[in-house]
Chain A
Amino acid sequence: MKHKLSRFAIPYVVWMALFVVAPILLVVVYAFSSANGGFTLANFARMRTYTVVFTRSFKLAIIATAVCLLIGYPVSYMMSREGERFQRVAMVLIMLPMWMNFLLRTYSWMSILENNGLLNQFFQHIGLISLYNQIAARFAADPAAYVPITHFQMIGTPGAVVLGMVYNYLPFMILPIYSVIIKLDASLIEAARDLGASTVQVFRRVILPLSLPGVLSGITMVFVPSVSTFAISKMLGGGTEMLLGDLIEQQFLGGAYNPQLGAAISLVMMVIVVVCMVVMNRFGEGEEQAVML
């Protein structure tokens, strides 16, 4: 009986062959072709020029992921210790922003971080900017020549890009961690406590190791979109600090048409990400779980 049911998967297997495997193979083919169709390695030879972009993208994505983890883990843990009703409301509140497209949310940050934006207006209002000017003028090598600033430069900086990533992908960190923590067997914790473990010990020895799968899938779900984003860096980064996503987008739909190079960059990025994930999942004994929701 059971094996008859396996026929149910056949259409989807065909679908995957068509719309998952074939397109990726096509990327591979493109990556190894020249503009007029022959085989070439030139696209990869050029990759060295873009090392800076690779390192920048990975650096920003790692920072964003770390910040997400530092905020997301405590939030998940604290949430799991609250009452049921609180938990339900909190979950909804974390999901809710995702239902507004992330571009809407990023766009809102644009008007907050702008040089004449709300945050700078606020700083101006509470006197932070003039305070900064006074202090900076005192410590400047030549106080007379010190040019007072009128605003803090926030938009167009890597910090703004990281902020955008953290803001947009934080729910992706909280949800898997929370869903693992909440499923932890309460009797395990009780047992640990009965055996004389302190709260800190319970957390370190029991909860933390057991929630690792959630952490790992959270890290993946934040890191991958962060390392490949192009909308966030374009909107909040001002386009001066290009990320991998920008580089790829530019080769396909942007101002420097070169799909072969774009495919090669995509391929390299894909391979690096996969390697990272495999190595990381080694630590967390590859469970195919940690579902969100």
Chain B
Amino acid sequence: MKKVTALTLACLIAASLLLSGCSVRRDDTTAAGTNSSGSTKRVVNVCSWGEYIDEDLIDRFEEETGITVNYQTAESNEALYSLLKTGAGDYDVIVPSDYMIARLISEDMLAELNYDNIPNYALIDEQYKGLNFDPDNKYTVPYTWGTLGIIYNTSMVDEEITSWDAMFDSKYAGSVLMIRNSRDALAAALLDLGYSLNTTDEEEIRQAYALLSDAKSKGVYQGFVMDEVFQKMEGGNAAIAMYYAGDYLTMLENNEDLAFVIPEEGSNWFVDAMCVLKNAQHKEEAEAWINFIASTEANLANMDYIWYASPNAEALAEYPAYYEETYGEELDMGLYEIMAAPQEVLDRCEIYENLPAPVLTLYNDLWTELGI
């Protein structure tokens, strides 16, 4: 009999630990709060990408609204998806890219937004609304848009790079950084082979994979990187990398030798948009955050800090003036056009579409195999 009591006691202790642990966590997230005016502290958990926000905006939002922002970052769209699926990520707002948004919507993981709480949505340029990932504008508020391209160090590469070939050329063995997410890496290979980056043809995808793995086995790649690219390219530790236009402009501030090119075969242009997860616990706070970030002021600050083009038409148009006012010098229009690619460049680029499930599995499997 005594054993039974001891057993139940032990179970109770374990269970209470589990539960109290969870409530401890909740205290913990709110403990970060700065003001104690409200009766209950309001929190919003945001998950974005690294180097993807002017952090002053977080402080400003907290001051204005009294909502504490728990700001986290994921490495890539695919990693974000894993975080959400394993249950390791407990977020309210996420900022995935177009194709991942489509996937999340198709898997019923996003909540429909109440646009009445997001008046600043009206400021978003029509061009970025109703795109294929959210055709009815129910789930998303665009955050930034931009292009993917090749960044290279002109002091280490003698020629002008114009083609995706550079990413697979053994001439540059050991000094190329390949991007560490399956979609972008395979897109580079697909484009280099002259295929569409949205192809669902298994044969084409396998050819692209072969190109990548061949280059890898020849030692072309110094590494597979995401945001490590900043340090490596700025420090001159690698000569060629593929990354996003906005991040190139950030690197350029620290290393003047870097150049950016959207290869002649075309490239990807993307929209990253803010969404709220279906099981979000702080939906109201999430919408307040989204509204704040969509404002022209926040978009200007963000654009100035992360160099990704804003979907807010007003902010995008005002930016050169804003730059001149802030820094007292004129904005180099060449840079502006890298950030906000003009229409003739976008015409060469394609936006990613969500791929059907079997193709996604193929991407996953090939990507895992590439690592080998």
User: Using a CB-CB cutoff of 8 Å, which residues 235-293 of chain A contact chain B?
Assistant: 238-240, 242, 246-247, 250-259, 261
Kindly supply a per-residue 1/0 record for chain B positions 73-98, scoring 1 wherever the CB is within 8 Å of any chain A CB and 0 otherwise: 00110110111011010000000000
Number of residues of chain A lying within 8 A (CB) of chain B: 33
Which of A49-57, A61-69, A181-189 is the interface stretch? Answer: A49-57
Count: A-B pairs, CB below 8 Å: 97
User: Using a CB-CB cutoff of 8 Å, which residues 221-272 of chain B contact chain A?
Assistant: 221-225, 235-238
Residue of A49, A153, A255, A261 touching B182 (CB-CB under 8 A): A255
Residue of B9, B83, B368 touching A256 (CB-CB under 8 A): B368
List residues of chain A with CB within 8 A of the CB of B371.
53, 239, 242, 246-247, 250
Chain B, interface residues (CB within 8 Å), range: 35 or more
User: Using a CB-CB cutoff of 8 Å, which residues 133-190 of chain B contact chain A?
Assistant: 174, 180-182
Closest chain-A Cβ to B88's Cβ sits at a distance in Å of 6
**With the chains together, A156 CA to B88 CA distance in Å?**
29
Kindly supply a per-residue 1/0 record for chain B positions 333-372, scoring 1 wherever the CB is within 8 Å of any chain A CB and 0 otherwise: 0000000000000000000000000000000110111011
List residues of chain B with CB within 8 A of the CB of A14.
7, 10-11, 14
User: Using a CB-CB cutoff of 8 Å, which residues 4-41 of chain A contact chain B?
Assistant: 7, 10-11, 14-15, 18-19
Closest chain-B Cβ to A262's Cβ sits at a distance in Å of 10
List residues of chain B with CB within 8 A of the CB of A15.
10, 14
Closest chain-B Cβ to A72's Cβ sits at a distance in Å of 31
**With the chains together, A251 CA to B79 CA distance in Å?**
9
**With the chains together, A7 CA to B222 CA distance in Å?**
58
A255 touches B78 (CB 8 A): yes
List residues of chain B with CB within 8 A of the CB of A49.
369, 372
Question: Which of A11, A153, A238, A255 has the largest count of B CB atoms less than 10 A from its CB?
Answer: A255
Closest chain-B Cβ to A57's Cβ sits at a distance in Å of 11
A7 touches B2 (CB 8 A): yes
A179 within 8 A of B: no
Residue of B3, B79, B86, B222 touching A255 (CB-CB under 8 A): B79
Residue of B7, B86, B180, B224 touching A10 (CB-CB under 8 A): B7
Residue of B83, B237, B372 touching A253 (CB-CB under 8 A): B83
User: Using a CB-CB cutoff of 8 Å, which residues 172-223 of chain B contact chain A?
Assistant: 174, 180-182, 216, 221-223
**With the chains together, A242 CA to B369 CA distance in Å?**
10
B221 touches A114 (CB 8 A): no
User: Using a CB-CB cutoff of 8 Å, which residues 1-41 of chain B contact chain A?
Assistant: 2-3, 6-7, 9-11, 13-14
List residues of chain A with CB within 8 A of the CB of B369.
49
Closest chain-A Cβ to B158's Cβ sits at a distance in Å of 12
**Secondary structure of the B contact surface, majority rule:** helix
List residues of chain B with CB within 8 A of the CB of A114.
235, 237
A87 within 8 A of B: no
B9 touches A239 (CB 8 A): no
Closest chain-A Cβ to B239's Cβ sits at a distance in Å of 10
List residues of chain B with CB within 8 A of the CB of A240.
216, 221-224
B6 touches A10 (CB 8 A): yes
A116 within 8 A of B: yes
B82 touches A255 (CB 8 A): yes
A254 touches B10 (CB 8 A): no
**With the chains together, A117 CA to B301 CA distance in Å?**
34
**With the chains together, A261 CA to B365 CA distance in Å?**
10
Assess A257 versus B364: contact at CB under 8 Å? Given A238-B224, A240-B223, A246-B371.
Answer: yes
Closest chain-B Cβ to A212's Cβ sits at a distance in Å of 36
A115 within 8 A of B: yes
List residues of chain B with CB within 8 A of the CB of A256.
78, 82, 182, 364-365, 367-368
Assess A116 versus B364: contact at CB under 8 Å? Given A18-B14, A238-B224, A239-B223.
Answer: no
Assess A257 versus B224: contact at CB under 8 Å? Given A10-B10, A49-B372.
Answer: no
User: Using a CB-CB cutoff of 8 Å, which residues 78-95 of chain A contact chain B?
Assistant: none
List residues of chain A with CB within 8 A of the CB of B181.
255
List residues of chain B with CB within 8 A of the CB of A250.
368, 371
B82 touches A252 (CB 8 A): yes
B221 touches A254 (CB 8 A): no
**With the chains together, A251 CA to B81 CA distance in Å?**
11
Residue of A7, A156, A254 touching B78 (CB-CB under 8 A): A254
Other CB < 8 Å A-B pairs besides A153-B174, A253-B79, 16 of them? A7-B3, A11-B13, A18-B14, A52-B372, A53-B371, A115-B237, A238-B222, A239-B180, A253-B82, A253-B86, A254-B78, A255-B180, A256-B182, A256-B367, A256-B368, A257-B86
CB-defined A-B contacts under 8 Å, sample of 14: A14-B7, A14-B10, A19-B14, A49-B372, A116-B236, A238-B223, A239-B180, A239-B225, A247-B371, A253-B82, A255-B367, A256-B182, A256-B364, A257-B86
B residues in contact (CB < 8 Å) with A: 2-3, 6-7, 9-11, 13-14, 75-76, 78-79, 81-83, 85-86, 88, 174, 180-182, 216, 221-225, 235-238, 364-365, 367-369, 371-372
A residues in contact (CB < 8 Å) with B: 7, 10-11, 14-15, 18-19, 49-50, 52-53, 114-116, 153, 156, 238-240, 242, 246-247, 250-259, 261
